[in-house]
Amino acid sequence: MARVVVDVMLKPEILDPQGQAIARKLPQMGFDGVVGVRQGKRFELELDGPADEAALEQANKIAETLLANPVIESYEVRVL
Amino acid sequence: MDAARVGVITFPGSLDDRDAARAVRLAGAEPVALWHADHDLQGVDAVVLPGGFSYGDYLRAGAISRFAPIMTELVAAAGDGLPVLGICNGFQVLCESHLLPGALLPNAGLHFVCRDQRLRVENAETSWTSEYREGQELVIPVKNRDGRFTADPSTINELEESGRIVARYLDVNPNGSINDIAGIRNEAGNVVGLMPHPEHAVESLTGPSTDGLGFFTSIVKKLVDA
């Protein structure tokens, strides 16, 4: 069985207050040198067969229609 | 003539469907309960998508509801001119369905915000706002977690230039929406999305005002005049 990962991130121009809240906490914890944090989502699709071309094409379709909203988010599909 | 029939769709996780139905009745129309899992709009004259957290708002607000069975019929009917009002979660569903442009993101302040909100009606020419006048100020409740309306600059520009901003927040922007946008409409004007809740401001006993009733009397007047 293969596993396909879909990473979904807010587009760079979209404000990410969750990431900002995390970034603000880091210096207080003693972690220096991080100038920004963006928070995203990771999905793992478990397939009943190999991650062949057709499966990846379908994973892209799933990402585009449901997992990500292309108005605000970008996505990347890869085999784990 | 028979009363106008206004459908209110209930999704799993809808919260404000009963209040929306009550507002429809107070405005003089007959509310018709519609079920998310049916492929049937029951011949209604208009539809309200109510507030709540449909399908738990898992994934993104409105993302899963968009694929509810009844949405197939709703998207087609809205394209043919059926008046549709999406309130809060309903607005999110309309954006996810691409019946309205843009998207609604988590509030900039990351808090769920619930308060009486001052608004200005910016467009009184939609199916849902004709009983107001342009520039009229309203106080109706806002209560959301994902109310930050966002779209790319060219879309925002187009909405502003073509008068498709229906309402704007006054005093305080509760969620960081671009240009204080509280509601927008589609190009034809039959589909309106609104983040605040007019259905909670239709009776003085329970609301901060009765300012919200105009959204419902507007559609009833349009349907009766038609």
Query: What pLDDT, in 10s, does the model give residues A22-65?
Result: 999 999 999 999 999 999 999 999 999 999 999 999 999 999 99
Question: B161-193 as b/e, with b when 16 or more CB fall inside 10 Å?
Answer: eeebbbbbbeeebbbbbbebbbbbbbeebbbbb
Quick: pLDDT tens for B24-62: 999 999 999 999 999 999 999 999 999 999 999 999 999
B98: its two tokens: 């691409």
A48: its two tokens: 């009943």
State whether B102 and A69 contact (CB < 8 Å).
no
State whether B59 and A14 contact (CB < 8 Å).
no
In chain B, residues with a C-beta closer than 8 Å to the C-beta of A71 are 95, 101-103, 150-152
State whether A14 and B108 contact (CB < 8 Å).
no
Quick: pLDDT tens for B146-202: 999 999 999 999 999 999 999 999 999 999 999 999 999 999 999 999 999 999 999
Q: What is the pLDDT of chain B when averaged over all its residues?
A: 96
Question: Cβ(B102)–Cβ(B95) under 8 Å?
Answer: yes
Between chain A and chain B, the number of residue pairs with CB atoms below 8 A apart is 36
Quick: pLDDT tens for B64-77: 999 999 999 999 99
Work out the average pLDDT over B117-130.
Answer: 97
Whether ipTM exceeds 0.90? no
CATH number for the domain that contains residue B99: 3.40.50.880
Confidence (pLDDT) at B225? 86
State whether B110 and A15 contact (CB < 8 Å).
no
- The beta strand positions in B65-132, using DSSP E, are 84-87, 103-105, 113-121
Residue A28's alpha-carbon distances to A18, A39, B3, in angstroms, are: 17, 19, 63
Question: Cβ(B124)–Cβ(B184) under 8 Å?
Answer: no
In chain A, residues with a C-beta closer than 8 Å to the C-beta of B103 are 69, 71-72
Confidence (pLDDT) at B1? 55
- For the CA atoms of B65, B70, B75, B79, what is the dihedral angle to 10 degrees? -160
- Please give the share of chain B, as a percent, with pLDDT higher than 70: 100
Quote the pTM value.
Answer: 0.94
State whether B106 and A72 contact (CB < 8 Å).
no
Looking at the complex, does the CB of residue A12 fall below 8 Å from at least one CB of chain B?
no
Confidence of residue B3 (pLDDT cuts 50, 70, 90): confident
Confidence (pLDDT) at B226? 78
On the question of pLDDT at B98 being above 60, the answer is yes
Question: Cβ(B131)–Cβ(B218) under 8 Å?
Answer: yes
- The beta strand positions in B145-190, using DSSP E, are 148-150, 165-169, 181-185
Annotation says B114 is catalytic? no
Nearest residue in B to A72, CA atom: B103
Confidence (pLDDT) at A1? 80
Confidence (pLDDT) at B2? 74
| Structural domains of chain A ordered from first start | 3-79 (3.30.1280.10)
Looking at the complex, does the CB of residue A35 fall below 8 Å from at least one CB of chain B?
no
Question: Taking the CB of residue B25, how many other CB atoms lie within 10 A of it?
Answer: 15
**Domain limits for position B78:** 5-225
Report the domain count for chain B. 1
Q: Residue B155, exposed/middle/buried by CB under 10 A (0-12, 13-18, 19+)? A: middle
Number of H helices, E strands in chain A: 2, 3
Residue B89's alpha-carbon distances to B13, B62, B104, in angstroms, are: 10, 6, 9
Phi, psi of A35 (to 5 degrees): -95, -10
In chain A, residues with a C-beta closer than 8 Å to the C-beta of B64 are 66
On the question of pLDDT at B132 being above 80, the answer is yes
